[in-house]
């Protein structure tokens, strides 16, 4: 992989995006991983997080969200010469896709996604599940990120790749 590679990993909450991104980053140590969970400005921040992705890929910086204080957190600078992986709901959009070399959509059935997400985040996420899911549906209808992806990775109920689909 070239030193300037840009990868976007998107999918609905609980689909396995973070695990995939961590696995890629573990095998590609020079890559810089940006998790949109670290910069969404609160539970209503999917659109703002998605809108930040083009700037991450062109300005090589991003600002974290301090979830505890409910305000912007620290700024993070990226090395433009190193690969960047951006993962999270909203990573692939009409604005971000032309700036990346590869876009991956991760798919998992709805019931398993919810079970995985709530097992992972428990009581922190449970009261916000429906609110976040509604934002996801609006985002999917507006951006159609799966259609913008180069590859769809369909996971089975255990989170293992079941199929890889190229458009």
Q: Which residues contact 8 (CB under 8 A, 6 or more apart)?
A: 53, 86, 87, 91, 92, 96, 97, 100, 102, 103, 104
Contact yes or no for 63/74 (Cβ under 8 A): yes
pLDDT tens per residue, range 44-93: 999 999 999 999 999 999 999 999 999 999 999 999 999 999 999 999 99
**What would the two tokens of residue 17 be?**
């995006």
Q: Check whether 163 has a pLDDT greater than 90.
A: no
Higher pLDDT, 83 or 158: 83
Question: Is residue 1 a part of any domain in this protein?
Answer: no
* Per-residue pLDDT at 164: 59
* Per-residue pLDDT at 167: 57
Model confidence pTM above 0.85 = yes
What is the tally of structural domains in the chain?
1
**What would the two tokens of residue 73 be?**
């957190």
Q: What is the CATH number of the domain that holds 157?
A: 3.40.50.300
Contact yes or no for 145/105 (Cβ under 8 A): yes
- Give 154's pLDDT tier (boundaries 50, 70, 90): confident
Question: Is residue 98 a part of any domain in this protein?
Answer: yes
pLDDT tens per residue, range 125-152: 888 889 999 999 999 999 999 999 999 9
Among the residue ranges 20-29, 39-48, 109-118, the one predicted with the least confidence is 109-118
Question: Is residue 35 a part of any domain in this protein?
Answer: yes
Contact yes or no for 82/5 (Cβ under 8 A): no
Question: Is residue 131 a part of any domain in this protein?
Answer: yes
Question: Is residue 157 a part of any domain in this protein?
Answer: yes
Higher pLDDT, 51 or 114: 51
Over the chain, what is the mean pLDDT?
A: 90
Q: Which of 33, 89, 92, 44 is nearest to 67 (CA)?
A: 44
Question: Could you give the 3-state DSSP secondary structure of residue 158?
Answer: coil
Q: Percentage of residues in the chain with pLDDT exceeding 70?
A: 91
CA 111 and chain centroid, separation: 19
Contact yes or no for 16/149 (Cβ under 8 A): no
Q: Which domain holds residue 65?
A: 6-165
Mean pLDDT for the stretch of residues 95-115: 93
Contact yes or no for 116/108 (Cβ under 8 A): yes
Contact yes or no for 49/136 (Cβ under 8 A): no
Q: Check whether 158 has a pLDDT greater than 70.
A: no
Mean pLDDT for the stretch of residues 112-118: 82
């Amino acid at each position: 992989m070239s030193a300037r590679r840009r990868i976007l990993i998107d999918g609905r909450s609980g689909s396995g995006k973070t695990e995939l991104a961590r696995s890629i980053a573990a095998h590609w140590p020079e890559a810089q991983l940006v998790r949109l969970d670290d910069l969404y400005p609160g539970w209503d921040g999917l659109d703002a997080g998605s809108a930040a992705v083009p700037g991450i890929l062109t300005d090589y910086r991003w600002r974290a969200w301090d979830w505890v204080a409910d305000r912007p957190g620290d700024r993070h600078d990226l090395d433009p010469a190193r690969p960047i992986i951006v993962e999270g709901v909203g990573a692939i959009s009409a604005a971000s896709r032309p700036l990346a070399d590869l876009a991956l959509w991760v798919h998992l059935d709805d019931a398993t996604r919810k079970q995985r997400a709530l097992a992972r985040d428990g009581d922190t996420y449970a009261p916000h599940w429906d609110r976040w899911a509604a934002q996801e549906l609006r985002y999917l209808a507006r951006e159609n990120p799966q259609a913008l992806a180069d590859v769809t990775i369909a996971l089975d109920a255990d989170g293992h790749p079941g199929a890889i689909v190229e458009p």
